[in-house]
Structure 1
Amino acid sequence: MDLLCAERLADCRLAERDRVIFEDMRVLQNLLDLETVYTPTCNYFGTVQKDIQPFMRKVVSTWMLEVCEEQQCEDQVFPLAVNFLDRFLCICVISRRQLQLVAAVCLLLASKIRQCNSLSVDQLCYYTDHSITPEEIKNWELLVLSKLQWIVTAVTGFDYVDHVLERVDWSKESPLIRRHAHTLVGLCYTEPELIQSRPSLLAAASISAAVRGLNMPSAATALTSVCELTRVDPAAAENVVHHIERVVASETASLQPLPATTSKVSSSASSTGKLISVADETGQPETPTDVQDVYF
């Protein structure tokens, strides 16, 4: 007997709203109760990690985000991968030359957990310009899992966005708010200053920043209502909102078109170690093995 699937991809759409999940406050309560278990236990720069600086973590997390975007990964993959990375770096000392290897392993693990089709080892090697080998990824996968005690799950800022938006009336004011909030949550996970911030705080600030950025009518009261749902201190959320706005303004300014005579940024390192983001001719996201040696 032939087994046929008559499903057409054009008919696929997002799942309908689940009343059991979004109308039961216990779900949101459980997220809030569990999030501290998965929050990185320390700011590991200069304490656990002697060879890794905050800007290196910024570069490698941005690379992780670019890989996820190019491979069209599920939204939840990137923050989960960064959570794995931070939790691992709180425990295990590595050198800067191993940072991208660990990041690639964390992407592999997160994609296995949060989406149907995981990233392949060969793809990850390609995105590192083959600076790491498949054997290294497989060996380090076991190391990362053992250091995380096989706890390959976490509460992330993405988990809160839908729960909050389903419980506030003003979420219907703009169809773009969910997408903008997700984008800003992802941005928060690239910031070294926010490593130990609770996911609920990142979500509350990202949603509030999205509301303000879209100039929605409820911009004045959105922060208060979001903080009430997520049990977040409004002052702390306001500080993160300002941080997000500064980063967005900086990123927007850096995307201004360069003069026509400038084709590519030099890849030699400066004495200050400042990184400039560039892509190669193929558009492949790259991060150097030694992040002090190459501009981005």
Structure 2
Amino acid sequence: MDLLACIEHQHEVYAEKDYTILKDPRVLLNLYNQERRFTPNKNYFLEVQTEIQPFMRQVVTTWMHEVCEEQMCEDQVFPLAVNCMDRFLCLCPIKRNQLQLLGAVCLLIASKLRSTNSFSMEILCAYTDYSVSHSAMVAWELLVLSKLKWNVASITGFDYIDQIVEMFPWGAESNLLHRHARTLVSISYTDSKLIKTPPSMIAAACLTSAIRGLRLRSTNQAVNDICSIASIKISDLETVVRVVDEAVERSVPKSPPSTPEPEPKLQGYESPQHGPNTPTEVENIYF
């Protein structure tokens, strides 16, 4: 087996947590100070784009999320890709048939920055059912980078999760908290209502939703700590939490109705149809 084959077959190894960084409050302060540079500052559906509608963004970001899940890439790739897409759409009007191309290009760029194994153009073209060509991706990659002035190492909600969790004792109450909060961050980036929301607020809302879903013993204290460290009002936090929970509920496929025991049918009689199922609760989502 040659060297290239050995590299392809080796397992990914992730670095251990650096608590010197995770417990240093200066890191959070720098994130707060820099996040405004990377937060979309306008509703581009009304001010820039003439053909792109919110539901189109929903479809494309959901597709991007599914690609990331199927390729099992790092959690931070998807939020970064969506952030790059939103910032580009604030600057440059495009046609509706170019939106998936833009999403694929942003996935390519984000994976180069945040993934150990970046997407190949061939894979992304295949995921578009070859409606996007290799040459178009090459051209649009340069276009996106130039429009964003190569400032693509954006701060996203993902960057806050570990920093906040590791600073408080309640962060150790459940080993699922990191996983749940990161999953909620990814889902929240598919909702167009949160385009202009700072990533610190998205992270705070996702952490709050995850903490409540896991029913931590220190839930009330944790929510107060999150509001304090993020310098946000509880009323503002609750507003974003509701949007996140709604996005999560939409992302969960409705379970099919259970099949009842067969009953003897009377000739000419049809049994009444069952009503709609109760929506799945947030804490029942598989992460």
Q: Same fold (TM over 0.5)?
A: yes
Give the whole-Å Cα distance in 2 for the aligned partners of 1:28 and 1:121: 35
Paired residues for 1:25-104 under 5 Å:
25-104=25-104
Q: Say if 2:82 and 2:189, in contact at 8 Å, map to a contact too.
A: yes
Deviation of residue 257 (structure 1)? Answer: 2.4
Deviation of residue 166 (structure 1)? Answer: 0.4
User: Equivalent residue for 1:290?
Assistant: none
Aligned sequence identity (%): 50
Q: Which structure has the highest helix share of the two? A: 2
Gaps of 5+ in 2: 260-287
Worse-matched range after superposition: 196-205 or 227-236? 227-236
Give the whole-Å Cα distance in 1 for the aligned partners of 2:83 and 2:98: 17
What is the SS of the residue equivalent to 1:46?
helix
* Letter matched to residue 222 of structure 2: A
Deviation of residue 14 (structure 1)? Answer: 4.4
User: Equivalent residue for 1:255?
Assistant: 254
User: Equivalent residue for 1:184?
Assistant: 184
- What TM-score do the two structures reach when normalised by structure 1? 0.81
User: Equivalent residue for 2:153?
Assistant: 153
* Letter matched to residue 169 of structure 1: P
Give the whole-Å Cα distance in 2 for the aligned partners of 1:127 and 1:51: 23
Give the whole-Å Cα distance in 1 for the aligned partners of 2:114 and 2:232: 26
Paired residues for 1:1-296 under 5 Å:
14-252=14-252, 254-257=253-256
Deviation of residue 258 (structure 1)? Answer: 6.8
Cα distance change of structure 1 residues 250 and 118 upon mapping to structure 2, 3 Å threshold: closer
Structure number with greater Rg is 2
Give the whole-Å Cα distance in 2 for the aligned partners of 1:19 and 1:183: 22
Give the whole-Å Cα distance in 1 for the aligned partners of 2:200 and 2:212: 18
| Count of paired positions | 255
Q: Deviations over 1:114-150 (max 9, x none)?
A: 1122100000000000001000000111111110011
Q: Deviations over 1:31-83 (max 9, x none)?
A: 00000000012110122001010010011001110001111111110000000
* Letter matched to residue 109 of structure 2: L
Q: Say if 2:157 and 2:200, in contact at 8 Å, map to a contact too.
A: yes
What is the SS of the residue equivalent to 1:45?
helix
